[in-house]
Every structure is written in C-alpha cells, then in structure tokens.
C-alpha cells in the first residue's frame, strides 16, 4: 500500500517499519513512498513533473559469470577466475550489507565442496586471479580485501542427484568500496578436499545484498 504526504516545508521526514528518511523538497509537492522501501516518487504540485527519489533500502541479488574447466580442483585452487559483482552499491557514497550467498553445484556428481569467497573492494585488483590457478594474493591487493565468506560442506542441500546448493548462514557484513566504485570483485577458492567439474557451466554463485 502507498501513502501520500504533502510537503509544506523544505524538509520532509517520515519513516516506515523503523527506517527513517529525510527528503528535501524544493517548493513543496506530493511524495508517494512505497512500504517496501523502493524508490519513492515526488510529484511537483506546480507542473506535475515526476522526480524519482530514494528511501530506505533495496534488496538485490548479483550473479557474476562463473566458467570452470572440466577437471579436478585441489585445495587453494581458484574456481572460475576473477568474478565481477556489478552494482553492489546504489551509488559510490552508499554502502551495502551482505545478506546471503548461494553456491549452485550442478556437476554430474555434486561436490558439496568447502569453499571461500574473497571479496575485494574494487572491481580491478592488481593481481591476476585465473581459473584453475593457485590462489596467491598480490601484495597490493591485501588492503583491498573487504570480506572472506566461507561455505562449508554442511551448508549444502541436495535437490535431486545432480544439483546441490550451498547456502551458509551469514551474519550481516557491511560493504564499503574504494574510490567511486559501485562494483566489486571476488575470488572463489577451494579450501579443502578436491572438486571434480563435469562441465564448464556447472557452477554458479549469487550474492544477496541490502543496498542503502
């Protein structure tokens, strides 16, 4: 349900379910704000022109391209090379909170592999992180490591015989990116055991964020 407010001063404040927002209105107008905190709409009373403004947060799920090789991956091996997580932030001045991570394993025999996702606060780290290469962090990238998220073997749930999804329980993790970046990058690494890939498109990863 949407609620409408008439702005009679230059500063309009309102809140939904504990989320407060201050919206500056030039010359007054009507604000229609959605209860799910998606961007609100400001309608000018003078000319009826609609202007888009943002309130609260927006939930987003990012799926980078992940291509593997039909071979065996041993501990400390990179799965899929450097992954780009586009538009993690709504704008460079904002932050996001990681809410979920899902690893989809559709190999002919799912590996349920213990993995770790290393996130960088930049989409272009200095080091080279190639698929099926041994992970060794470049010294220039150490300060750009934002988060490391583990996926354990017990985090996977089977869906039939050729599909398993790793869905770890996560504490909220705040993401701030360097400079004016709105996208970041990451490297998925085998942490123990061996994983056998049966094709090139048998793995996928999804990162769920709450964008402020």
Please report, for the chain, the start and end positions of each structural domain, with discontinuous segments joined by +: 2-56, 59-211
List, in sequence order, every residue forming a beta bridge with 151; answer none if it has no partner: 115
**CA torsion through residues 92, 143, 69, 101, sign:** negative
| CATH topology classification for 59-211 | Jelly Rolls (2.60.120)
Burial 117-136 (b: 16+ CB within 10 A, else e): bbbbbbbebebebebbeebe
Closest CA to 85 of 191, 199, 177: 177
Most distant CA atoms of the chain, gap in Å: 66
Q: What is the pTM of this model?
A: 0.75
Q: pLDDT tens digits, the chain, 212 residues: what are they?
A: 444 443 333 333 333 333 434 444 455 554 444 444 445 544 455 555 555 555 567 899 999 999 999 999 999 999 999 999 999 999 888 899 999 999 999 999 999 999 999 999 999 999 999 999 999 999 999 999 999 999 999 999 999 999 999 999 999 889 989 999 999 999 999 999 999 999 999 999 999 999 98
Identify the CA nearest to 32 among candidates 43, 20, 24: 43
């Amino acid at each position: 349900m949407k609620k409408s407010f008439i702005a009679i001063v230059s500063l309009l404040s309102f809140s939904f379910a504990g989320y407060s927002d201050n919206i500056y209105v030039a010359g007054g107008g009507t604000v229609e704000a959605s209860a799910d905190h998606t961007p609100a709409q400001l309608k000018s009373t003078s000319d009826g022109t609609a202007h888009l403004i943002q309130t609260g947060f927006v939930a987003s799920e990012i799926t980078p391209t992940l291509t593997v090789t039909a071979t065996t991956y041993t501990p400390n091996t990179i799965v899929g090379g450097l992954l780009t997580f586009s538009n993690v932030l709504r704008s460079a001045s904002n932050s996001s909170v990681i809410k979920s991570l899902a690893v989809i394993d559709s190999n002919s025999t799912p590996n349920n592999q213990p993995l770790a996702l290393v996130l960088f606060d930049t989409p272009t780290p200095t080091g080279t992180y190639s698929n099926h290469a041994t992970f060794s962090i470049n010294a220039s990238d150490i300060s750009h490591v934002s988060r490391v998220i583990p996926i354990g073997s017990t985090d996977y749930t089977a869906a039939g015989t050729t599909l398993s999804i790793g869905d770890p329980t996560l504490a909220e993790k705040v993401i701030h990116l360097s400079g004016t970046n709105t996208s970041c990058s990451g490297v998925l690494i085998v942490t123990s055991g061996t994983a056998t890939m049966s094709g090139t498109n048998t793995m996928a990863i999804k990162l769920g964020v709450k964008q402020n």
